[in-house]
């Protein structure tokens, strides 16, 4: 099926739905999930979510055909999707050049936590936080927070893609916090 920008779609094998925001090629599109995350998806993995008009359809009522109950289960976003989040203070809403370093760090960590929770709710399997190199305070703070979660692994992000200032998080299970810190 040929999709166009603005089409509402669901995933074929996963829960979730969204709207096509950009067409990359005949085989790849960018979908904005209901959670606000944009992901690149192969069109073979999508199903149009717009209702199909049933004009001209006839229904047999002689008992030969029984309607099957319809399941409206949603599919998850694809496990292979990666969300990249830039945590540089200048990129964040609420940033001001008059803020102290502590205020900037607090803004960055709040954005990090919001994005991590959104990724957990959205069933993403990988998220990359680009924090930069700096003096390592943000990087260490992020990793200290990540250690509190069960079912999450993290490591340095790809040097080729993000340089030395990124942390890649792999979400293995949806458990939240560990029992003891």
**Burial group, residue 114, by CB count within 10 angstroms (0-12, 13-18, 19+):** exposed
> What is the rounded CA–CA span in Å between residue 67 and residue 51?
18
Model confidence over 38-66: pLDDT tens digits?
788 888 888 887 555 555 555 555 554 44
The model's pTM is 0.55
The two three-digit tokens of residue 77, written as one number: 């976003």
Model confidence over 115-155: pLDDT tens digits?
988 888 887 889 999 988 888 899 999 999 999 888 899 99
């Amino acid at each position: 099926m040929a999709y166009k920008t603005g089409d509402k779609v669901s995933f074929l094998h996963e829960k979730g739905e969204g709207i096509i925001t950009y067409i990359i090629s005949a085989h790849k599109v960018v979908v904005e999930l209901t959670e606000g995350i944009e992901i690149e998806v192969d069109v073979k993995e999508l199903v149009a979510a717009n209702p199909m008009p049933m004009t001209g359809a006839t229904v047999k009522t002689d008992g030969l055909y029984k309607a099957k109950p319809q399941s409206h289960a949603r599919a998850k976003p694809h496990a292979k999707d990666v969300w990249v989040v830039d945590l540089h203070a200048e990129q964040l809403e609420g940033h001001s050049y008059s803020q102290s370093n502590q205020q900037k760090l607090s803004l960055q960590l709040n954005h990090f936590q919001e994005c991590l929770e959104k990724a957990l709710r959205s069933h993403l399997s990988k998220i990359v936080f680009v924090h930069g190199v700096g003096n390592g305070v943000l990087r260490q703070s992020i990793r200290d927070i990540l250690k509190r979660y069960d079912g999450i692994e993290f490591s340095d992000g790809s040097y080729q893609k993000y340089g030395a200032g990124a942390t890649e998080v792999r979400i293995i299970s949806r458990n939240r916090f560990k029992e003891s810190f």
